[in-house]
Chains A and B, each alone.
Chain A
């Protein structure tokens, strides 16, 4: 099992072919099928692509991802391949084009090995909301891998491929990365094109990598980041050479939000780990201050109002007409809509569409939707201000380690509260990374989250490298 791209490249120098490496991964995927991480393995295509890359390596014309075997979350389009957002409503749907991120990966000669299970339409924190069964956590198969990019995190942790892409609307890359003990990066809003990403919350969604190392994360970001004619929300700001982000030499100023420690249900071991980390950073000469963000407990409610409103709008396109599932009981226009959507969407997706429709409906728009947008402005201003005074904001990625299947079945709100530390950067638009922080006495890994100012990925990755080495 390879744990870094550096290692893969050394093996290639020593005579291994990309085809060998790809075949190895295909075998591992078969051996660990019970994890349910992959919805589909593109075995033939992957091997063909690997052969092409081997040819290029021979001719010294290979791109910078030659030898990297990557899996895609099942909401990222790849031309000629199925993509379902883990939903019944898109069962048998085949994408007619590739996401910009996929094109960029292929241009640099990555091998795309398959599509990875996730919560339906990326809505969930446990992967229990996939129409194709939950993914299991490789560290303990009785526990969830996190979500919604649960398959993406589990695949990296179990060595089913070297890296994966996920999407992060409220923590969907970082929370599963934390639960599975891998590195997960949510870039700045607009840093990576979303052309070809199945939309959930358009003012929040970002695509990002899940990897074993910070270096691999930086390299993938370097390849996928940048402006795109096809996505007007993709920033035209210059990208950095993220992969050359070196370890941080200087001293930094770090903010820790005081209210983090008052969070209900914050695990004592995770709390202690963070306190120890703070002490050691101080000993190394960094400045760490406790600062207040008194609206920390309003982050999740704000997030749920906005993300559900956007989801209800984005998911209105699934109407049973031109693509996707159509109910056999569809008899006229209205029943085609209603029956197809009611039968095609799962419980959690319907719950969110209902709530989103409610907060956007006449009479409630101002009290909920507009109100949440105002609170969001306050959150962003306070966060930007904090990140003008400090280089980074440090927190646990999640209040707890991965929970057991079914633990949050009876109360959607308790599941939503899993996202308390991660939704912050989606609401503020800032980049954030989860790096492995350690193991709990229950045997499960958990992550440390670092947030930086918008478009400061290079600094963020540099500091993350310092902390992981």
Chain B
């Protein structure tokens, strides 16, 4: 499988990342090397094998859905990059 500019752009768009110039060349080379490496998995015969998705054999138990106010509004806003007294502030989403 060959990693080209088009693939890098497509994956970067999905991952919400941006690669330009030297960085793009570097990620292209790295992805190619890593892909060649993980392509080894093709050598394993997995005919009839189910994917392993959950690591526990236990039935996961749900806890009671009780309201528990652990964090205040003030605390929730504490780590915001931008805020006013009540809300998170974000750059304008809709253009005129």
A residues in contact (CB < 8 Å) with B: 92-94, 96-97, 189-190, 203, 229, 232-233, 235-237, 295, 297-298, 300-302, 304-305, 312, 316, 319-326, 330-339, 341-342, 345, 347, 350-351, 353-355, 357-359, 361, 367-368, 370-378, 380, 411-413, 416, 429
Contact = CB atoms under 8 A, between A and B. Distances in A.
A358 B11 contact: yes
Select the residue from B37, B60, B81 with max chain A CB neighbours within 10 A: B81
Given A370-B51, A374-B51, A375-B46, A96 B78 contact: yes
A53 B80 CA distance: 35
A353 B18 CA distance: 12
Nearest to A294: B44
B59 to A, nearest CB: 10
B33 to A, nearest CB: 5
Interface in B1-60: 7-8, 10-12, 14-19, 26-27, 30-31, 33-35, 37-44, 46, 49-56, 58, 60
B60 A233 contact: yes
Given A235-B58, A333-B90, A353-B17, 7 more contacts: A97-B70, A298-B44, A334-B16, A336-B91, A351-B34, A370-B51, A374-B49
B79 A332 contact: no
A322 B78 CA distance: 9
B87 to A, nearest CB: 11
A320 to B, nearest CB: 6
A390 to B, nearest CB: 21
B96 to A, nearest CB: 12
Interface residues of B, number: 55
B80 A330 contact: no
B37 A304 contact: yes
B15 A354 contact: yes
B40 to A, nearest CB: 5
A323 B55 contact: no
Contacts of A325: 81
Contacts of B10: 361
A236 B41 contact: no
Contacts of B80: 322-323
9 contacts: A232-B60, A322-B76, A331-B92, A357-B15, A358-B7, A358-B31, A374-B50, A376-B52, A413-B33
A323 B83 CA distance: 10
A412 B30 contact: yes
B16 A341 contact: yes
Contacts, number: 166
Contacts of B31: 351, 354-355, 358
B14 A355 contact: no
B62 interface: yes
A292 to B, nearest CB: 15
Nearest to B92: A332
B53 A189 contact: no
B56 A190 contact: yes
Given A321-B88, A368-B41, A412-B34, A377 B51 contact: yes
Given A322-B80, A330-B91, A298 B40 contact: yes
Closest 4 CB pairs of A and B: A373-B51, A326-B81, A323-B79, A377-B52
Contacts of A332: 91-93, 95
B11 A361 contact: yes
A177 B38 CA distance: 27
A128 to B, nearest CB: 15
A295 B51 contact: no
A326 B81 CA distance: 6
Contacts of A326: 81-82
A377 B44 CA distance: 12
A353 B49 contact: no
Nearest to B47: A374
A97 B70 CA distance: 9
Given A337-B16, A357-B15, A374 B52 contact: yes
A116 B17 CA distance: 28
A301 B46 contact: no
Contacts of A300: 37
B75 interface: yes
B90 A336 contact: yes
B56 A333 contact: no
A330 to B, nearest CB: 5
